[in-house]
Structure 1
C-alpha cells in the first residue's frame, strides 16, 4: 500500500512546477492533474503501491483496464504523456529513481475521417432565405468559409484591407503567423459585397473587422460557431453545421475534382502534406462509390 500523504504532496509539488516553472495555463494544469488522478484512483481500487513503487507491469495493467472501460487511445496517449512528465519531475527531485511510463505506448485509435457535406447539401444550406442584416452577415461568413477553406480563427481575424473583391482574393494569417492569399469564389464575392453594404448599420467607420456583431464589435470564434449551428437547425441540414466542416468540405471537393494534393495543401495552409493526406481517404471513398455503381462486375444484385 502507498503512503497517500506523500503521494498527495508530490502531486501538489508537480502542480506548482507546471504553474511556476513551465508556466502552463490553468486549463493545461487541470488536464495533467486529472490524468494523474485517474491513474491513482485505479491504483487505490486495486490496492497497488503508490507513485514511488509503481512498476511498468502495473502501469501496463492499469492502461489495459482503462482501455477496456472505453477510454480512447487518444486519451490514454495524453495520460501517458502526463505520467512521463510527472515522473521526470520526481526523478529530477530525487524522489524516485525510475519512470515506469517511458516504454509504454497507448493503444492505437482508429483514424476518424473528417465529416463533410456533399455539394447538394451545401447548395441547400447556402440558399439565403432573406436580406435581413443578420442573414447577410451569416451567409457571407458561410460562403467565405466554404469558398476559400478558411479556419474560423482566420475568418474572425479578417480586416477589410485583407479582402480584395475586385481581384476576388483574400489574405489570411494562418498558423505559425504564415500568410497566404486565397481565391474567393463568385458567389462568396457577391455575398461579401451584400454584407459590407449594410455593415455600417452596426459598426462605426473605424471598425476594421470584416465580420462584426450587432453591437459593432469583431465577432468571436464561438459566436460564428453558434450562428452556423443555428442555420443548420433552421435548414434541417443532416449532421451538425460548424466552420471546420465547411473547411473539410472545401478540401474534399477541390481534391475530388483536381486530384492535386499539393494545391490543396497550399490552399489549406498545412505545413506538412501528411496533414492534408487524410482527404485522400475521403476521395478514395468517393471513387469506390463510383466504381461500385459503374463497373458491371462490381454492382450488387438488385435483390442484395
Structure 2
C-alpha cells in the first residue's frame, strides 16, 4: 500500500504503527519529553498521536527503521495527511513532533541528520483582516469626548483610521513628527524605514484638541511623546489596546475593537474609494506589494456585494424566471 493511504491504514490497522522498529525511538523520545522537559499530558498525547501517524505512513511506504527515513519520505507523509484532510495547523504540529523526534535521535547517535528540517507544511488559506464598515467607523469616531482620556482616545482612533499607522508607530510618535499645519505625520516603521503620511482634517482637529488637553498634565512638558498617560509617561501598547477595546464596547460595536482593525479599515476604505494599490502600500509602509494585496480581496468582497445588489442579472428576480 502507498504512503497516501496512511491515514486510512491508521484507522483500520493501528497496530502497524506500534509494530514498527521506529517505535522504540518514539517511546524513548516521549519518555524524555515527560521526564526531562516536563511536557504536559496534552502535549504528550498530541505528540503521541502525531508520531503514530508518522510511523504508520512510513510503514506503508516500506520504511521501518529510522535510518531509512529521508526528507522525501517526510514530504510524502505530509502530502498524504494533507490529502486525507489534515489542515495547515495540524500539519505544522505534526512536523514539529517529527523534528523533535529526529533531533532526539540525532543527539543519541541513531541518526546523523534531521530529515524533517527542510520540510514545510502547506500554507492554509490566509485569513482576511477584520474591518469596520463606514457607518461603524463614523459611530466610533463621531462620539463627543467626555474626559481627558476620551480626548486622547479619540485622537488615537482618528490617527489610526486617518493615516493607517501601526500600533508600535503610534506609541513611538513624538511631537516633532506631527505637522498639523501641513497635515502630515512622519513615522518610523519596520526595518527603520521612515515615511510621511497625510493627515485627514478630522484627525488633525482631534489631535489639536488632544494636544491642548495634554498640556494640562503637569508632567507632560518632560516628555516628547504625543500620547501620554495620566502619569505623564509615554502611553504603552497594552494601554492603547485596552482603551480601544473599552471604546468599542461603549459605542456598541459587536466585534472587539483593536488597533489593527482601524488600520485595516483605513486601507480597505481607501482602496475601495481610490483603487490605487500602490498608494495604499506606501501609506501602510509595506515593503512588498504582495503584503498589501490582501486588501484587494476585501475590495472584491465589497464589489461583489454592490454587484449582487445592483446588477439586474446578478440574482434571480422574485416571483419569476429571469428575462
TM-score by length of 2: 0.74
Residue 90 of structure 1: CA displacement?
5.8
Structure 1 residues 62 and 255: alpha-carbon distance in aligned structure 2, compared to 1, 3 A threshold: closer
1:214 to 203, 213, 230: 230
Residue 234 of structure 1: CA displacement?
0.6
Counterpart of 2:144 in 1: which secondary structure?
A: coil
Residue 258 of structure 1: CA displacement?
1.0
Query: What is the aligned partner in structure 1 of residue 29 from structure 2?
Result: 7
Query: What is the aligned partner in structure 1 of residue 19 from structure 2?
Result: none
Unaligned regions of 5+ residues in structure 1, if any?
16-29
Query: What is the aligned partner in structure 2 of residue 295 from structure 1?
Result: 311
**In 1: Cα distance, 2:141 partner to 2:251 partner:** 9
Alpha-carbon contact 2:220-2:228 (below 8 Å) kept: no
Structure 1 residues 194 and 43: alpha-carbon distance in aligned structure 2, compared to 1, 3 A threshold: closer
**What is the alpha-carbon root mean square deviation over aligned residues?**
3.8
For residues 11-48 of structure 1, give each alpha carbon's deviation from its aligned partner in whole angstroms, at most 9, with x where no partner exists: 79x99xxxxxxxxxxxxxx99x9998566332677896
1:99 to 114, 118, 139: 114
Asked if 1:261 is matched to 2:277, the reply is yes
Alpha-carbon contact 1:140-1:195 (below 8 Å) kept: yes
Structure 1 residues 117 and 47: alpha-carbon distance in aligned structure 2, compared to 1, 3 A threshold: closer
Further displaced range: 136-145 or 92-101: 92-101
Unaligned regions of 5+ residues in structure 2, if any?
1-22, 57-64
1:166 to 181, 194, 205: 181
Alpha-carbon contact 2:51-2:97 (below 8 Å) kept: no
Residue 213 of structure 1: CA displacement?
1.1
Query: What is the aligned partner in structure 1 of residue 204 from structure 2?
Result: 189
**In 1: Cα distance, 2:135 partner to 2:194 partner:** 32
Asked if 1:273 is matched to 2:289, the reply is yes
Alpha-carbon contact 2:241-2:259 (below 8 Å) kept: yes
Asked if 1:41 is matched to 2:48, the reply is yes
Larger radius of gyration: 2
Query: What is the aligned partner in structure 2 of residue 113 from structure 1?
Result: 128
**In 2: Cα distance, 1:296 partner to 1:134 partner:** 50
What are the equivalent positions in structure 2 for 1:43-122 lying under 5 Å apart?
Answer: 53=66, 55=69, 56=73, 60=77, 64=81, 72-74=87-89, 76-77=91-92, 80=95, 83-84=98-99, 87=102, 91=106, 94-102=109-117, 104-122=119-137
Alpha-carbon contact 1:63-1:76 (below 8 Å) kept: no
